[in-house]
Structure 1
Amino acid sequence: MTARPRSALLHWTGVLPVAAVVLLVLVWGRALSAALVAVVSLFLAGAVLAAVHHAEVIAHRVGEPFGSLVLAVAVTTIEVALIVTLMADGGDKSAALARDTVFAAVMITCNGIVGLCLLVGALKRKVAVFNAEGTGAALATVATVAGLSLALPTFTTSAPGPRFSGPQLVFAALASLVLYGLFVTTQTVRHRDYFLPVTTAGEVIADEDHADPPSARVALGSLGLLALALVAVVGLAKAVSPTIEAGVAAAGLPSSVVGVVIALLVLLPETIAAVRAARRDRVQTSLNLGLGSAMASIGLTIPAVALASIWLKGPLVLGLGPSHLVLLVLTVVVGTLTVVPGRATPLQGGVHLALLAGYLVLAVSP
Structure 2
Amino acid sequence: MSDRLHRFTRLWTVFVPVLALLLLVGTWGRSLPGGVVAVVAVLLAGAVLAAVHHAEVIAHKVGEPFGSLVLAVAVTAIEVALILTLMVSGPVKNASLARDTVFAAVMIACNGIVGVCLLVASLRHRFAIYNSEGTGAALATVATLATLSLVLPRFTTSTPGPRFNTTQLTFAALASVTLYGLFVLTQTVRHRDYFLPMTRGGVIIESEEHADPPSARKAYTSLGLLAVALIAVVGLAKVVSPTIEKGIAAAGLPASAVGVVIALLVLLPETIAAVRAASRDRVQTSLNLALGSAMASIGLTVPAVAVASFWLSGPLVLGLDPSLMVLLALTVIVGTLTVVPGRATPLQGGVHLSILAAYLVLAANP
**Structures share fold, TM-score greater than 0.5:** yes
> Which residue of structure 1 aligns with residue 132 of structure 2?
132
Query: Which amino acid letter does the alignment assign opposite residue 205 of structure 2?
Result: I
Q: 1:313 to 1:118 in 2, by over 3 A?
A: same
Cα distance in structure 1, aligned partners of 2:201 and 2:4: 40
1:1-30 deviation line (CA, Å, top 9, x unaligned): xx9998899611111111111111211222
User: What do residues 133-189 of structure 1 show as CA deviations (whole Å, max 9, x unaligned)?
Assistant: 100000000000100000000011010010111111111000000000000000000
Alpha-carbon deviation of 1:36? 1.0
User: What residue is the counterpart of 1:186 in the other structure?
Assistant: 186
The Cα of 1:259 is off from its aligned counterpart by 1.3
Q: For structure 1, which segment, 49-58 or 319-328, has the greater mean C-alpha deviation from structure 2 after superposition? A: 49-58
Letter aligned with residue 165 of structure 1: N
Secondary structure of the corresponding residue to residue 93 of structure 1: coil
Aligned partners of 1:156 and 1:162 also within 8 Å:
yes
TM-score by length of 2: 0.96
Counterpart position of 2:195: 195
TM-score when scaled to structure 1? 0.96
User: Is the counterpart of residue 279 in structure 1 residue 285 in structure 2?
Assistant: no
Query: 224-233 or 159-168: which moved more?
Result: 224-233
2:204 aligns with 204
Aligned match of 2:11: 11
SS at structure 1 position matched to 2:32 = coil
Q: Which moved more, 1:126-135 or 1:6-15?
A: 6-15
State the alpha-carbon separation in 2 of the partners of residues 105 and 113 from structure 1. 10
Give the equivalent residue in structure 1 for 2:357: 357
| Paired residue type of 1:120 | V
**Which amino acid counterpart does residue 159 of structure 2 have in structure 1?**
A
Structure-2 residue corresponding to 1:347: 347
- 1:314-329 correspondence to structure 2 within 5 Å: 314-329=314-329
- Specify every segment of 5 or more residues in structure 2 that has no aligned partner in the other structure, as ranges: none
Instruction: Report if aligned partners of 1:44, 1:233 keep a CA contact under 8 Å in 2.
Output: yes
Residues 35 and 283 of structure 1: CA distance in aligned 2, closer, same or farther (over 3 Å):
same
3-state DSSP of counterpart to 1:201: coil
Paired letter, 1:135: T
Alpha-carbon distance in 2 for matches of 1:232, 1:352:
32
Equivalent pairs, count? 364
Asked whether the 8 Å contact 2:81–2:234 carries over to 1, the reply is: no
Structure 1: stretches of 5+ with no match in the other structure: none
Q: Show CA shifts across 1:209-244 (max 9, x none).
A: 011111111111111111212222232222211111
* Matched residue, 1:25: 25
Aligned 8 A contact 2:24 2:232 in 1: yes
The alpha-carbon distance between structure 1 residues 92 and 283, as it changes in their structure 2 partners (threshold 3 A), is same
* Partner SS state of residue 92, structure 1: coil
Summarize the Cα distance change of 1:206–1:20 in structure 2 as closer, same or farther, 3 Å threshold.
same
Query: d(CA) in 1 for partners of 2:4 and 2:360?
Result: 49
Quote how far apart the aligned CAs of 1:200 are.
Answer: 2.6
- Aligned mates of 1:166, 1:142 — CA distance in 2: 23
Alignment check: 8 A CA contact 1:153 1:164 kept: yes
2:82–2:237 CA contact under 8 A, matched in 1: no
Q: Which residue of 1 aligns with 2:105?
A: 105
Q: 1:253 is matched by which residue type in structure 2?
A: L
Quickly say closer, same or farther: Cα 1:355–1:4, change in 2 above 3 A: closer
Q: Is the 8 A contact 1:200 1:281 kept in 2?
A: no
CA contact (8 A) 1:241 1:262 kept: no
Aligned partners of 2:149 and 2:302 also within 8 Å: yes
